[in-house]
């Protein structure tokens, strides 16, 4: 069978598209107690692993919260604390980041803490990494950001709010 260049290119494109739009399955499912909150998108969870208690640093997937030095940085940290600190959480790890943190969806008492941060206007939907989310999460996070923006909640009350990925970029 002879395939044209066009059909080969189309097949490659469709394969790449199909693999890009599917979220990665969880690498690990953990349950533990949140013992620390660093900022609006990072926490420390005490988990049972390999028959010992371990603390793992967790970067909440799907969001990017204001840095501590940014406007709403403290409020964002407080929002994540309200959702998870000193509570039992389910941690759905999707990957390890370059700093060795577990990137994960964090569920506390049935609440998706990342989604709650966005709904409250305390974090951005981190669209650069949206492909790592399930299609349902990707859609709900984007809709929550639109609604928070429209209602001018939290960081959206500042018309010149700077996304943290721009704030971190060297001047």
Among candidate residues 132, 127, 162, the one with its CA nearest the CA of residue 143 = 127
User: What does the alpha-carbon distance between residue 169 and residue 171 come to, in Å, rounded to a whole number?
Assistant: 6
User: What does the alpha-carbon distance between residue 96 and residue 94 come to, in Å, rounded to a whole number?
Assistant: 7
Told to judge if 6 belongs to the known catalytic residues of this protein, a careful annotator would answer no
Active site residue: 49, 75, 92, 101, which one? 101
Residues in the chain: 171
Told to judge if 101 belongs to the known catalytic residues of this protein, a careful annotator would answer yes
Active site residue: 28, 67, 75, 131, which one? 67
Active site residue: 5, 6, 28, 59, which one? 59
DSSP code per residue over 88-100 = EEEEEEEEE-TTS
Extract the tokens encoding 107. Answer: 């569920």
H or E stretch at 48: strand 42-49
| Helical spans, DSSP H, in 23-112 | 73-84
Residue 39 and residue 83 in contact, taking contact as beta carbons nearer than 8 Å = no
Told to judge if 59 belongs to the known catalytic residues of this protein, a careful annotator would answer yes
> What are the residue numbers of the active site?
59, 67, 101
């Amino acid at each position: 069978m002879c395939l044209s260049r066009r059909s080969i290119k189309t097949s490659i494109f469709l394969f790449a598209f199909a693999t890009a739009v599917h979220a990665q399955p969880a690498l690990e499912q953990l349950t533990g107690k949140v013992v620390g909150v660093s900022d609006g998108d990072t926490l420390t969870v005490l988990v049972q692993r390999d028959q010992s208690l371990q603390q793992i640093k967790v970067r909440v997937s799907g969001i990017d919260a204001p840095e501590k030095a940014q406007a709403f940085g403290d409020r964002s940290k407080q929002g994540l604390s309200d959702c998870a600190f000193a509570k039992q959480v389910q941690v759905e790890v999707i990957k390890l980041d370059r700093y060795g943190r577990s990137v994960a969806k964090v569920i506390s008492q049935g609440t998706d803490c990342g989604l709650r941060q966005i709904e409250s206007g305390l974090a951005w939907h981190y669209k650069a990494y949206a492909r790592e989310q399930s299609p349902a999460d990707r859609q709900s996070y984007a809709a929550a950001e639109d609604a928070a923006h429209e209602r001018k909640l939290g960081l959206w009350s500042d018309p010149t709010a700077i996304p943290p990925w721009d704030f971190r970029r060297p001047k």
